[in-house]
Amino acid sequence: MAKAGVLTRSRSTKSIAEDEPPTEPHRTAKWLLVASGKGGSGKTSTSLNLAVYAVHAGLKVVVVDLDRQGSLTRWYERRPPAAPPLILWEGTMSDAKRAIAEIGALEDVDLVIVDTPPGLDDHPDSTRLLVEKSDFVLVPTTQGTTDIDSVVEWMGFLRRERANSAFLLNKVQRTHTRYSKAKARLNGAGLLCPVDVRQLDDIESTHDHGVGVCELRKSRAAEDLGCVWDFVKQQLALEGAAR
């Protein structure tokens, strides 16, 4: 679990050891931005599945839906009552500044996962704010040429901003020649998550039932997304959190 080790007490002239017990260290939330220019690349599916892994690892998780289409919110509303709870923050890209302030004021949050809409070019200020705030930016893409073109350009921006970021290949069909071509192009343009996510029906089921693949009884997609969670944990220095 991420702990920044920052004491919440204010400074006083007395030494801490003198009369007060030490306060608990205040947790600093890690921010994961899930963003790519195109719709349908798996931003929402990746966000919700990583959030479920995180909550099962015992983390306090906020999911942020900044897409006015509201797919993440609809998934959240379908979540079974017995499932481990997440916190939802709902808005649009224009609310990015408010989201950062309001979520920043919440206590003991470990992880904030921000799901974004396509067309980030229409929101340059909010995009920049979110990139600056994020500890890691995950960029899902399919293996299709136009998707790859779009995310390679987006990665150029992220690298200029010195954002810690990586591509995630999603909906892959590993037997297609386009798959190896896509991997080669992405590897040349930035960091590529070493595990990709196959095109699998289980992912669709997670939207239907408000769950993550790791909450399904048998899921092939969990083999892929579990490894993506391990990669993201490493990038966010959350390695202590279980799978």
Ligand X SMILES: Nc1ncnc2c1ncn2[C@@H]1O[C@H](COP(=O)(O)OP(=O)(O)O)[C@@H](O)[C@H]1O
Note whether 111 and 59 are within 8 A (CB). yes
In whole angstroms, give the CA distance from residue 200 to residue 156: 30
Contact status: 30 vs ligand X (CB under 6 A): no
Classify the phi-psi angles of 20: left when phi > 0, otherwise alpha if psi is within -120 to 50, otherwise beta. beta
| Residue 204 touching ligand X (CB under 6 A) | yes
* Contact pattern from residue 45 through residue 84 relative to ligand X, giving x for each residue in contact according to CB under 6 A and a dash for the rest: x-------------------------x-------------
* Binding segment toward ligand X, per CB under 6 A, in 39-47, 92-100, 130-138, 154-162: 39-47
Cα 5 from Cα 161, distance rounded (Å):
27
CB of 213 to Mg ion, least distance (A): 17
In angstroms, what is the minimal distance from the CB of 162 to Mg ion? 26
Name which of 38 and 43 has its Cβ closer to Mg ion.
43
Binding residues (CB under 5 A) for Mg ion: these are 43-44, 71
- One-letter amino acid of 209: H
**In the complex, what is the shortest distance from the CB of residue 68 to Mg ion, in angstroms, rounded to a whole number?**
10
Does 41 bind ligand X (CB under 6 A)? Our answer is yes
Cα 199 to Cα 158: distance, rounded to the nearest angstrom: 27
State which of positions 179-198 bind ligand X (CB under 6 A): 197
42 binds, among ligand X, Mg ion, none (CB under 5 to 8 A by kind): ligand X
Assigned token pair, 14? 């007395």
Query: Does residue 40 belong to the site contacting ligand X (CB under 6 A)?
Result: yes
Question: What gap in Å lies between CA 132 and CA 162, rounded to an integer?
Answer: 9
203 touches ligand X by CB under 6 A: yes
> Coil, strand or helix: which one is 207?
helix
Integer CA distances (angstroms), 23 to 3, 6, 7, 104, in order: 13, 10, 7, 20
Interface with ligand X by CB under 6 A: which residues?
A: 39-45, 71, 170-171, 197, 199-200, 203-204, 207
